[in-house]
Chain A
Amino acid sequence: MVSTQNTDKHTTGRRRSLKAGDRRFALMILIPAMTAFLIMVFYPFMDAMSMAFYQFTIYDLEPIFIGFSNFQSILTNPYVLESWVTTAIFVVGTTALTMCVGLAWALLMYQNFFGRSVFRTLTLLPWILPSTVSAFIWAWMLNGKYGIVNALLLGSGVVDENIQFLSDDLGAMMAIILTRTWISIPLFMSFFLAGLQGLDFQQIEAARLDGASNWVVVRRIILPHLRPVFLVTAALGMIGNLQQFDIIYALTGGGPIRSTTVLSIEVYTQAFQNWDLGMASAIGVLWVFTLMPLVVYYLRSLFKED
């Protein structure tokens, strides 16, 4: 009996020491990644956050602590709040359009047809191109004087004179939404396509035998099946679009007349045109808080799956 107890204790002790060993090993392999994260992400992030409480312009040799003044300025500055609204329009518009087109494209790529693999590969092209290159391609295509879009519209008689897409509020917003959508479609399509792979095809066949139309199949079978993918994709898409900077900057620079000045452009303008790092950081904090609910939702979805 005694010997059995000793053996149990010994086994439990070994298990504990194994677990402790595992933990130590896990910690060891985490250290390089954690160190890199702390240095490259966490420290700059916290530094930028703290800068929001300082006045630090080109005229200040050292930052001056001013408490919540930058945040008070944001609340009384109509342009910053206007940027928040512009951001919301861009994010919602881009995410919605990308999801619709991405889903449609995924459904198309889900079908069996000759050359499907080639098409799927070609679809990834916008994703592979650097986003700034894509932005410049679209800027040239939409150019009010030399752009191919205008040439096609004029040539086909749809318009009588060139449309200045990027010089008009609505045109500029549509241009950035369109460009961002074009770049994001491959990613969204991949998510939806992956989701579709898990769909039991017999369900669709059974529905068809019962006389279901294509639309009914999509509405009653495919969309409910893809619901979890939809939610995660929407969260990811919104996070990505909220962070968007390079395409907008390269295409419109935030203009005309601030009509495409989203929060990221506002931060850039404050930091590198008005030379006000404190205000830029404060807007950055607002930006982070805008992102936070989506990030929390996305992370919770991930952990739930685990």
Chain B
Amino acid sequence: MWNSRVLKKQLAAAIFAVTTAPAMASEVTFLNWVTAEPSNKPVIEGLIAKTGVETKVLDSAWGDMQKTIFLRLRTKQPLDVSQLQARWLPTLANMPNLVDFNDLYGQEYLESVIPAEVLEAGRINGKQLGLPWNTGSISLVANRNMLETSGITEAPVTVEQFVEALRKVKAAYPQSTPYALMTKSNGLITADFQTWLWAHGGLIFDQDGKVVVNSAETVATLKFLKSLVDEGLVSLDVDRGAARRMFGQESSAFYFDAPVARGFARDFSGKGAEYDKHVYPIKTPVLEAGMTHRAMEWGHLLVLFNGKAAQVDGKLSKEAPAVKFIEELAMNPEIQLDYFTKAGAIPGSKEARADSVITSDQYIVDWNNSLGVPRRDQLSSMRNSANFIAAVGEEVQAVILGQKSAEEAAKEMEVRIQRLVK
């Protein structure tokens, strides 16, 4: 009898506990591309473990990320948190159920933790749809060892000096590709092209959004790229993976990359942190001394989907596991500094950015000096960006493959972009 009564009480207590406890999912589904990179996988898994949130990690190759997100959402498969390249946000901002972090934390709080200019990367039409996970720019990275061996003691400042430096590298390393221009896909070639276009003083869209790509600056940029191909100073068929490998193996002296370049150089050189001294970010050369140096804005964001893992009792909540997970990754200085120490990812939060680990790191000091005045990728921020990227990428390729003159390509580029804008 007693046993039966106790049993009933325990059962009632259990039912009460179950029905009154906040209803929330216990597991967070996190999609990212960093764990698909063997060298970064253990680093990110360590960071995830530190968040203390039970996480199901899904990874996808960088090139397939947008497709994977799109398919998971359209087929209604679980997805709570995803990593995004900042430049994808304008296109992916239309995804259903994206959480505005201003609703969750309030803009004031967010700006007290993360600098406003860093938050800007995740902001679309006043909504904070992405939280910066790491930030930086796409800058020109130089291999100091190769430059010194080639007799180059100072970083090139002008385009002319840059070409001269490439020639010296080629002379010292005849089998090398002095500059690993990334030509393999439209997405890569348009990034390099735009940075050189800015170096020549040109733009694709002016400040009013008018298409101005059919310009003398575009023609000069295309001719410059073509001349590099003709002189054997760049190779065709290079993607970012190949460029990183070529740089680490001293087969290329220059290429454009994010601050994580140092981590890849450590891996591909086979020398680990000992190789750090050779990785040297420099300002992108400009056509004439005195012009503004430009780099491309870059960063990784974390976005949150308003599903069960982001809710408590059916409402979006800061107590929900997915929110805690993002908060830990994007705002916990300890985790952010750990990521920086192990992979060179520059953190977004104010506290982490002010830490001596960051401020005393010469690589970061050099990186910040390399920025000049960074600009946002003008194509990736367009709605339906793939079409714009294809239009520009194909015309650039047509020039470097000798199928079109620079003038024809610049003209056709403008016609194609105008058509897309309409």
* Chain A interface (Cβ < 8 Å from any Cβ of B): 58-59, 61, 143-145, 161, 164, 166-169, 253, 255-258, 269, 272-275
Contacts and interface: CB of A to CB of B under 8 A. Distances in A.
B376 to A, nearest CB: 20
B387 A256 contact: no
B235 A256 contact: no
A200 B302 CA distance: 71
Considering the complex of A and B, which 6 residue pairs feature the smallest CB-CB distances, nearest first?
A167-B236, A273-B386, A272-B67, A164-B236, A167-B237, A144-B237
A166 B237 CA distance: 7
Contact of B397 (A256, A269, A273, A274): A256
A64 to B, nearest CB: 14
Interface in B394-409: 394, 397-398, 401, 403
B94 A257 contact: no
B381 to A, nearest CB: 15
A279 B70 CA distance: 16
B149 interface: no
Contacts of B232: 161
A61 B237 contact: no
A213 to B, nearest CB: 46
Given A274-B384, A274-B387, A167 B401 contact: yes
Given A144-B236, A145-B235, A257-B398, 19 more contacts: A58-B70, A58-B91, A59-B94, A143-B237, A144-B235, A166-B237, A167-B237, A168-B401, A253-B184, A255-B186, A255-B397, A257-B397, A257-B403, A258-B394, A272-B66, A272-B70, A273-B390, A275-B91, A275-B384
A258 B398 CA distance: 11
A275 B184 CA distance: 22
Contacts of B185: 253, 255
A151 to B, nearest CB: 12
B237 A164 contact: yes
B95 interface: yes
A167 B181 CA distance: 13
A229 to B, nearest CB: 39
A168 to B, nearest CB: 7
A285 to B, nearest CB: 20
A4 B95 CA distance: 79
A257 B394 contact: yes
A164 B236 CA distance: 7
A19 B237 CA distance: 65
Interface string B78-107: 000000000000011011100000000000
B177 interface: yes
Given A58-B94, A145-B177, A145-B235, A275 B397 contact: no
B183 interface: yes
B235 A164 contact: yes
A58 B236 CA distance: 33
Interface in B211-249: 232, 235-237
A143 B235 CA distance: 11
Interface in B345-377: none
Nearest to A147: B237
Contacts of A58: 70, 91-92, 94-95
Contacts of B177: 145
A141 to B, nearest CB: 13
Interface string B161-187: 000000000000000010000011110
Contacts of A161: 232
Interface string B25-57: 000000000000000000000000000000000
29 contacts: A58-B92, A58-B94, A59-B94, A61-B96, A144-B235, A144-B236, A145-B237, A164-B235, A164-B236, A164-B237, A167-B236, A168-B401, A169-B401, A169-B403, A253-B184, A255-B185, A256-B401, A257-B394, A257-B397, A257-B398, A257-B401, A258-B394, A272-B70, A273-B386, A274-B384, A274-B386, A275-B70, A275-B91, A275-B386
Nearest to A57: B384
B202 to A, nearest CB: 22
Contacts of A61: 96
B238 to A, nearest CB: 8
A85 B340 CA distance: 50
Contacts of B383: 59
Contacts of A269: 386
A58, A61, A275 — most chain B CB neighbours (10 Å): A58
Nearest to B185: A253
Nearest to B67: A272
B111 to A, nearest CB: 30
Nearest to B251: A145
Contacts of B394: 257-258
Contacts of A164: 235-237
A161 B229 CA distance: 13
Contacts of A168: 401
A235 to B, nearest CB: 33
Contacts of B66: 272
A167 B238 CA distance: 10
A143 B251 CA distance: 15
B129 to A, nearest CB: 14
A166 B238 CA distance: 11
A255 B397 CA distance: 10
B325 to A, nearest CB: 25
B193 to A, nearest CB: 14
Contacts of A253: 184-185
A272 B69 CA distance: 10
Nearest to A275: B70
Contacts of A272: 66-67, 70
Contacts of B67: 272
B401 to A, nearest CB: 6
Nearest to A143: B237
Contacts of B95: 58
Contacts of A169: 401, 403
A144 to B, nearest CB: 5
A169 B400 CA distance: 12
Contacts of A275: 70, 91, 384, 386
Contacts of B91: 58, 275
A243 B91 CA distance: 30
A75 to B, nearest CB: 16
A26 B34 CA distance: 53
A166 B183 CA distance: 11
A143, A164, A253, A256 — most chain B CB neighbours (10 Å): A256
B143 to A, nearest CB: 17
A16 B224 CA distance: 85
A144 B180 CA distance: 13
